[in-house]
Amino acid sequence: MLSRKVTSHGQDSSYFLGWQEYEKNPFDPIHNPSGIIQMGLAENQLSFDLLESWIEENQESNWFRKRGGSVFRELALFQDYHGLPEFKKELAEYMSEIRGNRVKFDVDKLVLTAGSTSANEILMFCLAEPGEAFLIPTPYYPGFDRDLQWRTGVEIIPIHTTSSNNFAITKPSLEEAFQRAQSLHLKVKGLFLTNPSNPLGTTLSPQELHLLLSFSLSHSLHIVSDEIYSGTASSPSSPTLTEALARLLPDPLHPAWGRLHVVSSLSKDLGLPGFRIGAIYSHNAALVAAATKMSSFGLVSSQSQFLLSRILADKGFIRRYTRENRARLGRRRGVMQAGLREAGLPCLRSEAGLFCWVDMRRLLASASFEAEAELWRRMVHEFGVNVAPGSSCHCAEPGWFRVCFANVAEETLRVAMRRIRAFVADSGIRR
């Protein structure tokens, strides 16, 4: 008999069910051309060749070696929770580089975690008691229902946004969510944001940044800013909460600085989710100390830190990689959007992320989430394309879908576009 805790993982969402259907019948252009194409997974596989070339050219001089000989034994032994100093230094500099060097990161305020999933959960453990709440704008990544709540007991209160203003966060929507939490007798501890957004692919506007910071200041709330898609933005000039707070409160000793916590990762922009590299950055010394202790339950391997410290230290390569990766993502996003337009499906205008937020409302049999679910089931089972329905992202309006474009080969994308066009034509006929 298992505990209730472990049987409530949250994987009954259509987001996870779509993965399961794909795994039963995965598309392969040679061996299974009628299988399901996975377009529900936000992975960046477009620039592996650049990293593979670097490793091929540098492995003899860098793998397990540094000045003075082999470091194999050093890496094989237990490492301090704080991580390898050389890796933290390079990671902090990389985080600054992908933000156009407009923000500097201090290694003493950086906590290494086994991916951003671990970082986000650790922050919930550190910032809230079970039964306390964080406000999150919708639509949001479906995994947050699991990552932020499952083991921590923290509650999520959605800040509902709508397509009428391109899903922008407004003051009335913030206040409504805060009041709803109070009516449920939940203490609100903070705001949880993704910037750039998953699933919208947009970045917060200066107006939204000012609104969110002002709201958090007025209620003494924490802000967790999940910025794992920063390196996927088409331009490094997109504003961040750290910059906005610096303009609003130039005094670094102001208490508000201790309530802003940034989550970073190498999973999306470098396409390395398997390396499990995540990080928390905070000016709150007590939180950094506590999070460092908690990171012992999910440490980053010394071997991963060593290899990646070498890659990140090659500044010329990293600049070339970042520039080329952004260009490739931009081109692929354009191909996806053009294909969807040809099928008669508009997308929200976006400049970041590994996906498009697609409007399929005209294909719904009725303006309901039941009709959205039926549309999704037909897309998966009859046309062999898995995407994430908006309902799995807690979108307030039925008919929106997240469609990923960076985890498949270009030829597979063309096959997917043909299937989507056939799906749209068939759905139009049925209506």
> Which of the residues are catalytic?
141, 226, 228, 268
**Paired residues of 247 in beta bridges:** none
Residue 13 contacts residue 150 (beta carbons within 8 Å): no
Residue 168 CA: distances (Å) to CA of 157, 195, 212, 304: 17, 12, 12, 38
CB 15 within 8 A of CB 388: yes
Q: Are 242 and 102 in contact (CB under 8 A)?
A: no
Cα–Cα–Cα angle for 112, 113, 115, nearest 5°? 125
Pairing mode, if any, of strands 260-265 and 222-226? parallel
Spatial CA neighbour of 185 closest among 155, 221, 215, 164: 155
The CB-based long-range contact list for 90-93 (8 Å cut-off, 24+ gap) reads 90/308, 90/309, 90/312, 90/313, 91/264, 91/266, 91/277, 91/279, 91/308, 91/309, 91/312, 93/312
**365 secondary structure, DSSP code:** S
What are 324's two structure tokens? 């080329």
Supply 400's token pair: 């929106």
Residue 14's CB: how many other CB atoms inside 10 A?
23
Beta bridge partners, 155, equal 133
Place of tokens 């205008």: 349
Closest to 427 (Cα-Cα) out of 365, 384, 345, 359: 365
Asked if 231 and 274 count as a contact pair (C-beta separation under 8 A), the reply is: no
- CA-nearest of 356, 325, 371, 366 to 420 is 356
Q: Cα(392)–Cα(156) distance, rounded to whole angstroms? A: 14
Angle in degrees, 0-180, between the axes of helices 315-342 and 302-313, rounded to the nearest 10 = 90
DSSP secondary structure string for all residues of 185-223: T--EEEEEEESS-TTT-----HHHHHHHHHHHHHHT-EE
